[in-house]
Amino acid sequence: MKSTKKIILSIFIMMIAFTALSFPSRADIGPKPSISLEIRNAPKDYYVGLLVDHEGYMKELRPDESDTDGSKAFEILTGYEENGWRLFTDNPVTSVYYKSNAEDRYDFNYRVPSIFKVIVVSYDGQVYVSNEIKREKFNAECTYDIESGELRENVLAGAGKYIMFALICYLATIILEGVALLIFGLFNKKNIPCFLIANTITQLFLNAVIIYLHYHGGQIFLIFVVPVAEILIMITEGLIFRKRLVNRNDEVNTKKNFLFAVFANIFSIVMGLMLFVLFFKIAAFFAGLILD
């Protein structure tokens, strides 16, 4: 029992160290919230910003002296106040307002409000203020339609990427742990249903955790949460496979089956990370050739 605990602890430490060393060290490594905003049915030329209903850090705002046509819109934007709502200026690092561009898309980064409105001021002095919304995603993608007056967050934006990520992880796990099944001589018709069901359940759990943390901006915690989740999966699969996998003679070897579960998970993690790094190195190499 003590030796099993030592093995699990060693695996846990190894996984944390391997994961930590896979990422570059930076002074400001934590994820930052953001609001990506698209303006629809916008006027020709305008300024756009976010409104909040609280006081905060007052950033000094200076107009673009070369943009004389927009001076009136700038004054209205920066001086706007109605029912306690004012221009959001609490971000000391990046821009808190934007001049219109051809794409009508704007990114507010680093420090953004949870509850906000959008204000658009055209160069001729027309003011458009959206409804109030509460940001659901850590990196929110919002659309403000001036014609309808509706501001909404696209909460399902990026769902396709999440699904694709989960599917790739699932298929890679099945393939890599299937190789482990072959190595241990357990690849047969009787074991495949149990193998697939167990991996489907555990992969759904793992990917749900990863997607949830990413959705809510908890990427920094993945370095700690994922190793713990992987150990739980390893133990769970070990308990499931322990008495259910049979060899070619229909015999059950509980120690061998549990060892298979441990080996299969470590093998899929290490090989998966190696393939992941290799893929990006190859992609970077070909990207460099194209750019050169």
- Asked if pLDDT for residue 27 goes beyond 80, the answer is no
Alpha carbon distance 245, 188 (integer Å):
9
**β 150-153/139-145 pair status:** antiparallel
Structure confidence at residue 19 as a pLDDT band (50, 70, 90): very low
Provide the mean pLDDT of the chain.
83
Structure confidence at residue 150 as a pLDDT band (50, 70, 90): very high
What is the pLDDT, as a whole number, of residue 99? 92
What average pLDDT score do residues 77-97 get?
87
What average pLDDT score do residues 221-227 get?
81
| Two structure tokens written together for 237 | 């699969």
- Asked if pLDDT for residue 194 goes beyond 50, the answer is yes
What is the pLDDT, as a whole number, of residue 20? 47
What is the pLDDT, as a whole number, of residue 66? 67
| Two structure tokens written together for 81 | 């106040």
Task: Provide φ and ψ at 285, rounded to 5°.
Answer: -65, -50
User: Domain 34-153 has what CATH class?
Assistant: mainly beta
What is the pLDDT, as a whole number, of residue 136? 87
For the chain, give every domain's residue range. Answer: 2-29+158-291, 34-153
- Asked if pLDDT for residue 270 goes beyond 70, the answer is yes
- Asked if pLDDT for residue 72 goes beyond 70, the answer is yes
What is the pLDDT, as a whole number, of residue 147? 92
What is the pLDDT, as a whole number, of residue 60? 67
